[in-house]
Chain A
Amino acid sequence: MSSAIDVSTLWKTFLVGDGRVDALRGVSFRLQKGEAAAIVGESGSGKSTLLHILGALDSPSSGSVHIGGFDPFSGTDREVSCFRNSHVGFVFQHNNLLQEFTALENVMMPALILGKKDFDVRTRAQKLIDRVSMSHRAHHFPGQLSGGEQQRIAIARALINDPLLLLADEPSGNLDSVNAAKIHALLLEMNKDFGTTLVVVTHNLSFASTLPRVIEFRDGIIVRDSRSSMNEAEWSV
């Protein structure tokens, strides 16, 4: 099976005033296609930075990153944007949605950006909204939805173009435990049902432990990379 993510000796350095912050200091790991991994670690350990680089929102200072065998940082803005559009689905911590568009339109947006016809997109978007149990709110605007509902719509939107990667950065960070659990369950289902490679940053260790793989960060390096025993065989290289 081919790797969805192949990261080796990844460094990311931010220059702040006179000083510098090394957010990532030589990170290497691989993720197979369809694998699901939790990224854990204390605040400031470089989790978000890694996720941004995996989604080509930010570029590495050094080291190599291949997503689906492809180096997204070699292209023009047009090519990188296109890469994000068709191969990556993002779910951020909060306020993911476009305020002037209904839930349904939000879900359709990445496909419209891809250039698909409105009609073809609508059916698929509707299905995804059903899938995240939001069909009764499809024509509501984000301002009319609760935080948990917004996150579910964001998950549906992240999947509309059937991406290679689903990247979620503390998707339940702003939610109560009940809603958080729903989001967690949903992410796992999506990973299983669609076979989308999932990388989710979370502070919720019990959720993390339900994922087949957990990668722990501290000060920009991976300090633990464990596969849960029941999945070990399945994912061994």
Chain B
Amino acid sequence: MKINSSARAVRLIILRYLVSSWMTRRTRTRGAIGVFLPMLGVAVGVAAFVVVLSIMAGFVRNLEDRLLAVDSHVEVVVKDSFGFIPEEASLLKEIREAHAGIVAVSPFQRGDAILQSSARPSTVVLWGIDPVSARLSSQLESKTRNKNLQILTREISPENVQPSEKFPAVFVGNQILFHVNAELGDRLTLVSVTSEEGPAGLAPRQFPVVAADELRTGNPAFDSKLVVASLDFVNHFFGTEGFWAGVQVRVRDPLDLDNVVKALNKKLEPRKLRAKPWTEANQAFVRALRLERWAMKFVMFVVILVACFSITITLVLAVRRKAREMAILRALGLRRKDLGLIFLLHGIGIGLVGVLVGLALSFGILELVKGNFLAFLTGAYSDKPLPVLVNWFDVGFVSIGSVVLAAVASVWPAFEVMRIDVVETISDRGGFA
């Protein structure tokens, strides 16, 4: 016997049922399977999920911007006392590979110094970085005017003294510049806080530098204290060649550091190093934020769950309404399995359309938010639009998750339709066992 291949017919039926529920009036269909409400439920759930989490992520990024400014998420430093880490490329590799959540590492040197102009001195923290890797390990570069850390590797001739020689470039906090009454391009002098024996007796070391760029973080702790230079220069200045004060570590999710810190500490134990997360100083706050994010995710999950539950209800009702047509389809030669497939795929179709509509909706809303629409409504963030940060992993997760839930929600209706008693239904005697 020739075995039929009903796949095309099944596909046609599903598509028609999905489409015709939108044009019930035209087709004068009495028994169309509802699509709109459950679809809207899924769409709203997905949209709420994406919008709320994107705004929250943007908020966290903003906060990170202000609190951390140019600091990194984690610093690897010497464990017990002040001290330096011997320079070693393999250590960077080891740190980088300690945990999958680590996205960048960069060594640094740090110490106190005095920055002097012709007008007056200012005590500063002199920070030496590797311009290549530091681009990725912190937001430092974005806080400068020229957005180019490579400038730190150059020697530059100053604009305020003639005739000009070339001196190492440094970036200076904008409030320091103001304090010492200097401008960008000026020659300044870095003076060490310790003295050493020289030809004229005990004297501090002095290095001429050029203020090549300014730092503007919005956080006075940095803007009035920090001078950034290349790692080599700073090591030369402090006489610490061959050593680092620590290593900056950047992670994917700044609120989810525990595992990274644990992994780092475990791995670095033999080297007598430890990982110091930025959250150490803001623990309660970070914990609250993290809890809120989980609560949000849970609420959104429940919204989508309810939407999927309404898929189940819609389809189970549709099975009863369409029982006669399903029995007719059996008489025309569809298999029991095919009927189940129709309802399963119908539910998945609802979920799929819901997700697409939800995504379109959420990106529309996020555009409005970015365009300061919400600020206009609420009066909050009046000078700046709400920060928005779309996490594509979350978007993918909620999209796939919703479709899977829709599929699960359709399993029961699919079994229901497979249980239809064809003869009973066609003879108008009911039809459900």
Contact = CB atoms under 8 A, between A and B. Distances in A.
B422 interface: yes
Contacts of B47: none
Given A57-B426, A85-B333, A100-B29, A115 B4 contact: yes
Interface string A67-111: 000100001011101111110101010011111110000000110
Contacts of B12: 112
B20 A48 contact: no
A98 B14 CA distance: 13
A110 B333 contact: yes
B331 A98 contact: no
B86 to A, nearest CB: 74
Interface residues of A, number: 37
Contacts of A223: none
Interface stretch (B106-114, B284-292, B334-342): B334-342
B330 interface: yes
B30 A84 contact: no
A205 interface: no
Contacts of A58: 423
Contacts of B336: 77, 81
Contacts of A82: 1-4, 333
A77 B9 contact: no
Interface stretch (B36-44, B64-72, B321-329, B374-382): B321-329
Interface in A34-66: 48, 52, 55, 57-58
B240 interface: no
A57 B5 CA distance: 20
Contacts of B3: 78-79, 82
B249 interface: no
Contact of B427 (A48, A86, A101, A141): A48
Nearest to A112: B9
Given A81-B4, A115-B4, A100 B32 contact: yes
A-side interface mostly: helix
A143 B29 CA distance: 7
B81 interface: no
B9 A113 contact: yes
Contacts of A70: 1
A100 B17 contact: yes
B117 to A, nearest CB: 83
Given A100-B29, A114-B4, A84 B333 contact: yes
A99 B24 CA distance: 10
A226 interface: no
A75 B4 CA distance: 14
Nearest to B28: A143
Which residue among A85, A95, A99, A114 has the maximum number of chain B CB atoms within 10 Å of its CB? A99
A100 B337 CA distance: 21
Interface in B372-402: none
A98 B27 contact: no
A5 to B, nearest CB: 18
Interface of B: 1-9, 12-13, 16-17, 20, 27-32, 324-325, 328-337, 422-423, 426-427
26 contacts: A48-B427, A52-B423, A52-B426, A57-B330, A57-B422, A58-B423, A81-B334, A82-B2, A85-B333, A86-B333, A92-B331, A96-B328, A99-B27, A99-B325, A100-B17, A100-B20, A101-B16, A109-B9, A109-B329, A112-B12, A113-B4, A113-B6, A113-B332, A113-B333, A114-B4, A143-B29
Q: Which 8 A-B pairs have the closest CB atoms?
A: A85-B333, A143-B28, A115-B5, A112-B9, A100-B20, A113-B9, A81-B335, A82-B4
